[in-house]
Structure 1
Amino acid sequence: MRLALSSSRLVLATLFAGAIAATAGQASAQEPRPRDPIISVSGEGEASVAPDMAILTLSVVRNGETAEAALSANSTAMKEVLAALKAEGIADRDIQTSNFSIYPQYRHSEPKNGITEPPQIVGYEVANTLTLRVRDLQKLGGLIDRSVKLGVNQGGQIVFTNDKPDEAMTEARKAAVAEALAKAKTLTEAAGVKLGRVLEISENAVRPTPQPMMRMAMAKDMAAEAVPVATGENTYTVMVNVTFALER
């Protein structure tokens, strides 16, 4: 009888010891691992290049007593403008209608005896806007001048860009990574630690913000000569974030 009781106590003690060991193992597994030392830096690189293309907006605006009359006058002028653009070598793929509108024009009468009459339609205005890609920048000034003489009387906003800025972007990326690496080396040398391998790289590219270079005046204010245009340069910017390991 005593032997059976002792055996039971031995089994319970063994089970209790096993439970304690399992609980200790779980607690040990949940402890956070020591974090590997790293360093994160950022770098910025720029590359400038002369533009090789201009995006130009030209608008023909005409008024008439009726919508039909205004539309007819506008269409006649726009056909002449389109023919001139194509004669200057602008391809069909580089000409796009970007806006078209017909608006009634109202006359508002003064109130009489506290009574205001509703506005009356006195005419219509039709506006037709083209967006052009001009790939030969030497023709830009003459193209603007000729378009105005043929009937363009609004618009003239110019944005200079690059058809394929890949090379400039590549140079900007190289400069950004080089700056990040130089920062990392300076920081680790100052801290007395050794720079390790690259763990992560991310990029944020910033293309040039379109800037309106000029706005076209009315045709009566334009000079007889071709419009002078300065193209300048486009600057492409790339920012990178680089994370390095630190060697122990």
Structure 2
Amino acid sequence: MPSPNLETPTKEKEDYLNELPDEVEMSLFDHLEELRLRLFYALIAVAIAALGCFIFVRPLVRILEVPAQGVKFLQLAPGEFFFVSIKVAGYSGMVLASPFILYQIVQFVLPGLTRKERRLLAPVIFGSSILFFAGLFFAYIALIPAALNFFINYGSNVVEQSWSIDKYFEFVLLLLFSTGLAFQIPIIQLILGFLGIVSSAQMFAGWRFVVLGSVIMGAVLTPSTDPLTQSLLAGAVLGLYFGGIGAVRLLGK
């Protein structure tokens, strides 16, 4: 029979990790008021960052036009490029303000987290940021050029390549950010594994559904309909998922 003096320290450590160190009694109204303030601060940060990006929006537009391989862009309606500039500045502002937005999220949820759950904060925030920017880079380097190359070559002998500037940036921005979000899969797996909700063995057991889900995700998240872009994104999602399983297994879960 185990000795009590061995069980007691273990129980005390478990109780210590499950404590809420900053627990404060707050009414529902107080929680909503704090949430409103956090959202307001985040929106102000995005607005300031977007305004700064709007000042330098032309270089950003030129960078995002590079994957189009010299295709001629047309402004098909008055003010179309102006609204595209606002859109590019808005998305860029969200990226620049993301550290401050994450800080506001952390400050809002922190009082409700136990010491054990707080251990996840630093690796989750750092890993999520790295993977999001990795997703943007992957989309810019691989997905967008592959999709555009398919469309350019498909109609090269039939139609002249002149694209609407608004439609092009709608395509590019959607693909960039959807890929960045798709790259968050390993972070979700690590959270579920660390909290003991799903084990690495259970994740691996459902690989058939993951393959099907990645194909569907590739079709839904990519704004184009070409199979190459969808396959690239689906392959990246599968790689991230199995990489997440490996990370959860390293945690011993």
Structure of greater Rg: 1
Which structure carries more relative contact order (alpha carbon 8 Å, separation 6+)? 1
Range class of TM-score, shorter chain? under 0.3
